[in-house]
Amino acid sequence: MGMDKFEMHAQLYEAQCRYTRACRQIEHLNIKLEDLNKRYIKARTDDNKPFRYKLRMRIMTHDGILSSYCMYACFKKNEILDLRYKLYGENPDDGELIYDMSDDMEIE
């Protein structure tokens, strides 16, 4: 039983580290996306069509990566809440309800 708790503490620590890194990456991607949007608006006002196309592709790529990181952060947050509940009996606060990702995913 003691080893299980030790492993659960190690899993909790690793999940918290990964969640923190994912949040930092989300912040970085948001800043990059804002910059790309500003550059796109500038290219649109200058009527620079080839550059607009390139920027649209980069914006779509960054948007996809951002949504993937957001889903990953949600999974890690759920894992953290689950481990905290198992270790300490902590119930999530109203703002920390476990998010069910199964509604968002389409299985074919």
* Domain presence at residue 83: yes
* Domain presence at residue 108: no
Question: What's the token pair of residue 53?
Answer: 């196309």
Count structural domains, the chain. Answer: 1
Q: What is the pTM of this model?
A: 0.78
* Domain presence at residue 95: yes
Do residues 72 and 104 make contact, with C-beta atoms less than 8 angstroms apart?
no
Structural domain that includes position 69: 2-103
| 108 residues of the chain, pLDDT tens digit each | 566 889 999 999 999 999 999 999 999 999 999 999 999 999 999 999 999 999 999 999 999 999 999 999 999 999 999 999 888 887 766 555 555 554 454 433
- What is the DSSP code (8-state) at residue 90? P
Burial class (CB in 10 A: 0-12, 13-18, 19+), 15: buried
Q: How many residues does the chain have?
A: 108
